[in-house]
């Protein structure tokens, strides 16, 4: 579940909206319609959301609807009790939820990221003993999870790049760093 941040965003939106349909979810979450519909189908398959039955939807149920009652031209969804409980659990202690879902390689890459601060995939590959392809996949996955982020700066200063100290580095590759949530996960993993 934590492997896809989009699923969590969709569930949070459905909690706010109570009842909503694919196009509205896509607009509110900020993703293309196809991705939103795929996320809704995946959540329904997992039993975290359900379809709303009936021929009309009232704006007392669908909080984002403006008119008092709308005939259904779309497939509407709402959170199930299971989905509601999962969201509550994630919001209560997100760091612990991430820790429980991470594997050894994830933690290894996160610990290296803490040591080097900002660096590119090749450095991570050398320090973890993994192949470059494996590290790239792992880094992209951790970025999707929100535990790491791409460093967008054009120049990385001396104090930021600890694995290869020099006055400054011009960025020709993708450079990665821990996000705030990633820092909290690494800190909690040591306890």
In terms of domains, do 80 and 49 share one? Answer: yes
3-7, 10-14, 34-38, 76-80: range with lowest mean pLDDT = 3-7
Long-range contacts of 28-33 (CB under 8 A, 24+ apart): 28/64, 31/6
At which of 92, 122, 143 does a domain end? 92
| CATH number of the domain encompassing residue 33 | 1.10.10.10
Count the Cβ atoms, other than its own, within 10 Å of residue 39. Answer: 23
Instruction: Please check whether residue 179 is in contact with residue 118, taking contact to mean a CB–CB distance below 8 angstroms.
Output: no
Higher local confidence (pLDDT), 117 or 26: 26
Alpha-carbon radius of gyration of the chain: 21
In terms of domains, do 100 and 184 share one? Answer: yes
Instruction: Please check whether residue 32 is in contact with residue 22, taking contact to mean a CB–CB distance below 8 angstroms.
Output: no
Q: Which domain holds residue 152?
A: 96-189
Count the Cβ atoms, other than its own, within 10 Å of residue 103. Answer: 8
Instruction: Give the per-residue pLDDT at 55.
Output: 63
In terms of domains, do 109 and 178 share one? Answer: yes
In terms of domains, do 87 and 130 share one? Answer: no
At which of 92, 127, 142 does a domain end? 92
Instruction: Please check whether residue 187 is in contact with residue 147, taking contact to mean a CB–CB distance below 8 angstroms.
Output: no
In terms of domains, do 120 and 85 share one? Answer: no
In terms of domains, do 102 and 75 share one? Answer: no
In terms of domains, do 62 and 113 share one? Answer: no
At which of 68, 92, 116 does a domain end? 92
In terms of domains, do 85 and 51 share one? Answer: yes
Total domain count for the chain?
A: 2
pLDDT in tens, 43-84: 999 899 998 887 666 555 655 654 545 655 678 888 999 889
Instruction: Give the per-residue pLDDT at 38.
Output: 93
């Amino acid at each position: 579940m934590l492997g896809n941040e989009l699923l969590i965003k969709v569930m949070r939106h459905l909690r706010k909206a109570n009842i909503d349909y694919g196009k509205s979810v896509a607009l509110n979450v900020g993703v293309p319609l196809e991705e939103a519909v795929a996320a809704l189908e995946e959540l329904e398959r997992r039993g975290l959301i359900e379809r709303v039955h009936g021929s009309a939807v009232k704006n007392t149920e669908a909080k984002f609807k403006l008119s008092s009652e709308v005939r259904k031209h779309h497939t509407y969804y709402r959170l199930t009790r299971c989905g509601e409980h999962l969201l509550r659990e994630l919001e209560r202690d997100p760091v612990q939820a991430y820790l429980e879902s991470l594997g050894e390689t994830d933690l290894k890459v996160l610990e290296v990221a803490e040591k080097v601060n900002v660096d590119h995939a090749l450095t991570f590959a050398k320090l973890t003993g993994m192949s470059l392809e494996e590290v790239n996949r792992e880094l992209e996955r951790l970025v999707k999870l929100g535990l790491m982020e791409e460093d967008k700066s054009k120049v990385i200063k001396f104090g930021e790049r600890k694995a290869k100290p020099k006055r400054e580095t011009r960025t020709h590759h993708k450079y990665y760093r821990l996000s705030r949530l990633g820092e909290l996960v690494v800190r909690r993993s040591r306890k």
